[in-house]
Amino acid sequence: ELKVEQNPLFLSMQEGKNYTIYCNYSTTSDRLYWYRQDPGKSLESLFVLLSNGAVKQEGRLMASLDTKARLSTLHITAAVHDLSATYFCAVDVNYGGSQGNLIFGKGTKLSVKP
């Protein structure tokens, strides 16, 4: 059974600080996704990581994937208030009878304070 765990679930940061969100998953997969959700809104895609060692960066956010450790990280550099949101990682299964199964972590609620 595919399980996806994120930590921390809540993160309160000061502007200008750095932090990392971790995403662990339980089964073999080389496809990992990060999404952002603003309060009361739907989810938007941030990053797609498709191979071991993949690294993607967008502004103050950088995501990486280690498929051997079954671990992805989302690193926040010099946080600003606009980054306040809930961040989800998701993993899907692209083989066998479970093809298409796409599971989300519980999300990390990030609050950036001045």
Partner 1 sequence: NAGVTQTPKFRVLKTGQSMTLLCAQDMNHEYMYWYRQDPGMGLRLIHYSVGEGTTAKGEVPDGYNVSRLKKQNFLLGLESAAPSQTSVYFCASGSGGRGANVLTFGAGSRLTVL
Which residues make up the interface to partner 1 (CB under 8 A)?
Answer: 6, 9, 31, 33, 35, 42-45, 48, 50, 88, 90, 92, 94, 99-107
**83 DSSP 8-state letter:** G
Residue 77, SS3 per DSSP: coil
Closest approach, Cβ 28 to partner 1, in A, equals: 16
Closest approach, Cβ 10 to partner 1, in A, equals: 10
Residue 40, SS3 per DSSP: coil
**CA max distance for the chain:** 48
Q: Output 76 or 105, the one with its CB closest to partner 1.
A: 105
Give the separation between CA 104 and CA 114, rounded to whole angstroms.
30
Q: Output 24 or 77, the one with its CB closest to partner 1.
A: 24
User: Which residues, other chains included, contact 51 with Cβ-Cβ below 8 Å and sequence gap of 6+?
Assistant: 30, 65, 67
Q: Output 13 or 88, the one with its CB closest to partner 1.
A: 88
Closest approach, Cβ 114 to partner 1, in A, equals: 26
Closest approach, Cβ 78 to partner 1, in A, equals: 27
Q: Output 43 or 80, the one with its CB closest to partner 1.
A: 43
Give the separation between CA 75 and CA 22, rounded to whole angstroms.
9
